[in-house]
């Protein structure tokens, strides 16, 4: 692709040169920008029913960060003639302007919707809405947005957005640019989706390998027996069923004995480990807070040792990590259980794969209460029944799983890197075209 024949100084230092026939304008002179309306709980219940002549209501969570896809079928629909709520019309676009996804979630609308107040609608009559949609994804727009963020949760007021600068080609060029980017980004998104599907299949294969190994072993010809347990099924005839409470030391911190968050230090005598410090099955020591020595010594039952296995009991239940290469003494926060074998009946790494497998997940789902607050209680965890092969088979299973999952993890990691490169290429392409660095006026639809 070629560049434009001539460029001019935009008059804005951070924008630099633009094609000679292009102009700089404020968004308030180009499009109408307005936010939506939040729904009360009772309104959500009302509008989740079947309603005639209704259109979707969308919230921030209905927009995907990676592909800008929007979920129109979330179950919430509001009557079209309901004048209390603002409508984002077809062919306008929405952008999140508040919270962690501010500036990162946006979607072009294929149909009219009602929408939440954390989203802003951009609608224009005289300019090409699709061009502005792509322009909003460019670094020139995003830098203005990110520099305008304020408040505890992070947001940008519509009054500020209206004063953002936008580079505008003539209308025919806006259409050409939008058509070009429609085709190119569709191709890129399709390739990303294909790679994401590959990752999903690889992760399903990974899960199947682990589940098969820890419940059925590695020899498909060995005789099987009924375990009598729903979440295990059949298992090899020479395997045993054990309960956690009979084989495993389990301890967790009970409260903090007056511990305050201001006692968490950047540097001190002892690490304090939380579930947020778990990464790829290990404790990430450089993210751990530290506490004074007396806090470590006050509870000897949760003083960590090399090789201990940790599992989260609050928040995201069942995250696991092995304690390895402890830089110095360490203790636990209240959201984690410490486990270690009571005898030599199992290898800790075998228990790691048991707790990682669907066996434990199914057990937890089977036993969790109806409360919306998720928690793994120690008395429930103690009753977890799991399959236990002879020690020699445990070692073979551990080696088998490590070899297989390491190979799959390499492919998954490489595929994720490829996806990130495609996303970077997509962002760069959009930026180059909407800012006039590349001239696509002679582009013909269907070209590669």
* CATH code: domain of residue 325: 3.90.220.20
Q: Is residue 6 part of a domain?
A: no
Average pLDDT rounded to a whole number, residues 246-259: 79
For residues 105 and 123, membership in a common domain is answered with: yes
The pLDDT-based confidence of 234 (bands split at 50, 70, 90) is very high
Domain count, the chain: 3
For residues 189 and 288, membership in a common domain is answered with: no
Q: What is the pTM of this model?
A: 0.82
The pLDDT-based confidence of 370 (bands split at 50, 70, 90) is low
The pLDDT tens digits for 21-50 are 999 999 999 999 999 999 888 888 888 877
Average pLDDT rounded to a whole number, residues 43-64: 86
Q: Is the pLDDT of residue 82 over 70?
A: no
Report d(CA 174, CA 181) in Å as an integer: 11
For residues 329 and 423, membership in a common domain is answered with: no
What is the Cα Rg of the chain in Å? 28
Half-sphere exposure of 135 (CA within 13 A, CB side): 25
Q: Map 286-332 to HEC letters.
A: HHCEEECHHHHHCCHHHCCCCCCEEEECECCCCCEEECCCCCCCEEE
Are 435 and 10 a contacting pair, CB within 8 Å?
Answer: no
Residues spanned by the domain of 108: 27-166
For residues 176 and 319, membership in a common domain is answered with: no
Q: Is residue 222 part of a domain?
A: no
> 2-14 b/e with 16+ CB inside 10 Å = b?
eebeeeeebeeee
Residue 152 burial by Cβ neighbours in a 10 Å radius (0-12, 13-18, 19+): exposed
The pLDDT tens digits for 218-229 are 999 999 999 988
For residues 421 and 432, membership in a common domain is answered with: yes
């Amino acid at each position: 692709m070629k560049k434009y024949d001539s460029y001019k100084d935009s008059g804005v230092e951070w924008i630099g040169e633009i094609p000679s026939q292009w102009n700089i304008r404020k968004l308030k002179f180009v499009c109408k920008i307005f936010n939506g309306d939040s729904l009360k709980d009772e309104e959500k219940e009302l509008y989740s029913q079947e309603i005639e002549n209704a259109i979707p209501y969308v919230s921030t969570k209905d927009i995907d960060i990676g592909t800008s896809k929007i979920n129109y079928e979330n179950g919430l629909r509001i009557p079209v003639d309901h004048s209390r709520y603002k409508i984002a019309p077809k062919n306008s676009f929405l952008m999140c302007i508040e919270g962690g996804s501010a500036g990162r979630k946006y979607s072009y609308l294929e149909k009219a919707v009602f929408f939440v107040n954390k989203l802003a609608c951009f609608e224009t009559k005289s300019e090409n809405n699709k061009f502005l949609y792509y322009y909003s994804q460019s670094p020139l727009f995003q830098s203005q947005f990110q520099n305008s963020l304020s408040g505890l949760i992070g947001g940008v007021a519509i009054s500020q957005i209206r004063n953002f600068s936008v580079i505008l080609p003539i209308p025919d060029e806006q259409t050409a640019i939008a058509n070009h980017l429609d085709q190119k980004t569709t191709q890129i998104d399709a390739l990303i989706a294909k790679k994401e599907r590959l990752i999903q299949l690889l992760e399903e294969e990974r899960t199947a390998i682990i589940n098969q190994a820890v419940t059925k072993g590695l020899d498909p010809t060995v005789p099987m027996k009924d375990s009598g347990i729903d979440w295990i099924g059949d298992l090899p005839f020479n395997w045993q069923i054990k309960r956690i409470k009979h084989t495993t030391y389990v301890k967790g911190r009970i409260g903090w004995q007056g511990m305050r968050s201001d006692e968490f230090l950047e540097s001190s005598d002892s690490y304090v480990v939380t579930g947020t410090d778990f990464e790829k099955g290990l404790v990430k020591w450089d993210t751990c807070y530290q506490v004074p020595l007396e806090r470590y010594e006050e509870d000897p039952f949760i003083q960590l040792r090399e090789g201990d296995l940790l599992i989260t009991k609050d928040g995201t239940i069942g995250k696991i990590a092995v304690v390895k290469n402890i830089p110095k003494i360490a203790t636990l926060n209240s959201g984690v259980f410490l486990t270690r074998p009571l005898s030599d009946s199992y290898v800790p790494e075998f228990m790691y794969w048991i707790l990682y497998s669907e066996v434990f997940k199914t057990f937890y789902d089977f036993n969790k209460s109806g409360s919306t607050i998720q928690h793994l209680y120690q008395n429930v965890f103690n009753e977890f029944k799991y399959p236990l092969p002879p020690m020699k088979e445990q070692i073979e299973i551990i080696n088998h799983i490590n070899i297989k999952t390491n190979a799959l993890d390499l492919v998954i990691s490489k595929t994720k890197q490829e996806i990130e490169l495609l996303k970077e290429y997509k962002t760069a392409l959009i930026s180059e075209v909407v800012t006039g660095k590349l001239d696509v006026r002679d582009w013909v639809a269907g070209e590669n």
